[in-house]
Structure 1
């Protein structure tokens, strides 16, 4: 992770803010419990003038200065201070038990607000697919089930065709005398 964080710093020095943001988002997906990544991404957005987006990534961090507090308040106001909307936007996929007390408190308050107002708490499961593991999901149907299903569909399709053929035979018999 340190190597990737160094690349983020290098991207920022070179003025490649979008690249740095993309790298940080990927790191957040890989290490969701590391709030320093969110904090760094929030700082990039703040420096770029996107205060509400900075507030989104600073949401789980204790306010170290007035700027952080203002950005988080702006972000909350942007989403009408809705716990449900904020949880859906922040998308925390980590283990809450590994967070500091402040972050756990914020998540708990958002969840309580969401439950109170919508009777639902958005829950985001960690991504389980390992990088580079792109296997095709196995089909649970057996060969005989597949063959049986094909025969049934074929019969349903053939039935009206056979009916039309028999109807034409009857009509030709009636008019042949």
Structure 2
């Protein structure tokens, strides 16, 4: 977990805000129940002057200050305060039961508005990774293991074929005298 946040902080210090935002969006996609990731991304967007985009990531968080309130309000106005449009934009793929009371309430209000206005509630395939269990995607040695498995399977398949040709050579050698 610390490694991801360390990379994000290093990106920010180096002025690579886009890279930091990409990392955070990937984490949000993998761990949608962790609202602290959305808060951090909202802070980056706010500091960069993208107030409505900050509101997008802060909408599920209890406002801590006037800036958060204004950003969420601007975000809602940007999408005409449409529950359907907001739900499609924030793409929450987490477990609603894991969220705090405030976030649950906001999602319920958005869903109610969406159902009322469009007779539809956007639903997204959930991601089920646990909050705080941040790790790299895959162990690099697993690629090497896969290569060895493929080579072994190819060897097992070729062994009888090569043996058959060797047997034909032996038979040919016996009858050539």
Both proteins in one fold, TM over 0.5: yes
1:108 aligns to what SS in structure 2?
A: helix
CA contact (8 A) 2:79 2:86 kept: yes
Length-normalised TM-score, structure 1: 0.71
- Taking the aligned partners of 1:27 and 1:40, their CA distance within structure 2 comes to 11
Corresponding residue number in structure 1 for 2:3: 3
Partners of 2:17 and 2:58 in 1: CA distance: 18
Q: Deviations over 1:14-56 (max 9, x none)?
A: 1110000000000001110000000000010000100000000
Structure 2's unaligned 5+ residue stretches are 129-136, 139-177
- Does the 8 A contact of 2:94 with 2:127 survive in 1? no
Q: Which runs of 4+ in 1 moved over 2 A?
A: none
User: Which protein, 1 or 2, shows the higher relative CO under an 8 Å CA cutoff with sep ≥ 6?
Assistant: 2
- The answer for the alignment partner of 2:21 in structure 1 is 21
Indicate yes or no: 2:49 matched with 1:49: yes
Q: Which runs of 5+ in 1 are unaligned?
A: 133-177
User: Bigger radius of gyration, 1 or 2?
Assistant: 1
Q: Which residue of 2 aligns with 1:85?
A: 85
Question: What is the Cα-based RMSD across aligned positions, in Å?
Answer: 1.2
Aligned residues: 130
* Inter-partner Cα distance in structure 2 for 1:6 and 1:84: 35
- The separation in 2 between residues aligned to 1:40 and 1:9, in whole angstroms, is 11
